[in-house]
Structure formats: structure tokens, C-alpha cells
Amino acid sequence: MADTDTRFAHRGNKESLEEALAFQPKFDADGLIPAIVTDAGTGDVLMFAWMNADALALTIETGIGHFWSRTRRALWKKGEESGNVLKVVELRTDCDQDVVWLRATVEGDGVACHTGRRSCFYRSVPLGGAPSAALQLTWSKDPQKS
């Protein structure tokens, strides 16, 4: 588990986490950290996934997005089969270092979503009324399949 992982610094106090430069990522009870992937050009959120310590270490070392598939319980190099590999332009962490943000470009077809869309976020939730089970999503501006 990540607690004894020598690849990352041990978690310090609040001041250390927020204001220091030691990388002290927090992995949750399942050994995972959330990872947000945005398009380095447009800023659109492309996908959201999870990393274990191995996936995070590989992403840092190679500059290519690696994740942990919770359904397959396996390390997952995004795009390994499709060719739609994520080339990381910048990797950031947040104030308490329990999330990472990948600014990336998508190689191959430029498609990040397994449904064939550029982004996984292709539907919008209408705002301004109390939700009910009948609430209908709308297609977002860029919902086309590639």
C-alpha cells in the first residue's frame, strides 16, 4: 500500500501539504486517488478516472496517462488498444494533495471516451428547477461521435 511506498513522501501536516513542495499524494482506503483529465488546449474536461500508486508513478515517469480500472481491477494504460493515448502536458495536485489534474493531449483519433466521443462529458443537466426522476439531460455542444 501507499503508506510504505518509498516513491512518495509521507503525508505531513496541513501546512506541509498546502504550502510545501514535497509531493505527498493521498491514496484513499482502496489505495486510489482521483484523476481529472482536461484537454490541454481547450480546458474541456475529457474524463475522470482513478490511479493507484503504480499508475501515478508510471504517469510521472513516462508522461503518459496510466490509471487503475476499478471494474477490471488492473493497471490501465489509457489508449493502449485504441491508440488514443494521453500525452500529459502538465500534472498538478490540489491544496491537500488528494486529487491530481492532468492537462493532456489525446493522441490517435483524439477521442478520450470509450463511447467514441472526444469527451466523456457530452450531456448537460438543465438548471433552475427542482430535479425529478423525469428530468431530461440535453446533448452538450460537442456531442458528436468521431
Using DSSP, state whether 60 is helix, strand or coil: helix
63 sits near a copy of itself (criterion: CB under 8 A) = yes
Residue 13 found at the interface with a copy of itself (CB under 8 A): no
Min dist CB 80 to a copy of itself, Å, is 19
Helix intervals (H) in 23-110: 53-62
Site string for a copy of itself, 72-111 (x = CB under 8 A): ----------------x-xxxxxx---xxx----------
State the Cα–Cα distance between residues 116 and 34, nearest whole angstrom.
23
48 binds a copy of itself (CB under 8 A): yes
Q: Which of 11, 16, 31, 45 binds a copy of itself (CB under 8 A)?
A: 45
Per-residue DSSP letter, 1: -
8 Å CB contact between 66 and 51: yes
Beta bridge partners of 77: 66
Nearer Cβ to a copy of itself (80/96): 96
Residue 127: exposure state from Cβ atoms within 10 A (0-12, 13-18, ≥19): exposed
CB of 52 to a copy of itself, least distance (A): 13
Cβ atoms 105, 40 nearer than 8 A: yes
Q: Which residues here bind a copy of itself, judged by CB under 8 A?
A: 6-10, 18-19, 21-23, 34, 36, 38-39, 42-45, 47-48, 56-57, 60-61, 63, 88, 90-95, 99-101, 113-115, 117, 120-140
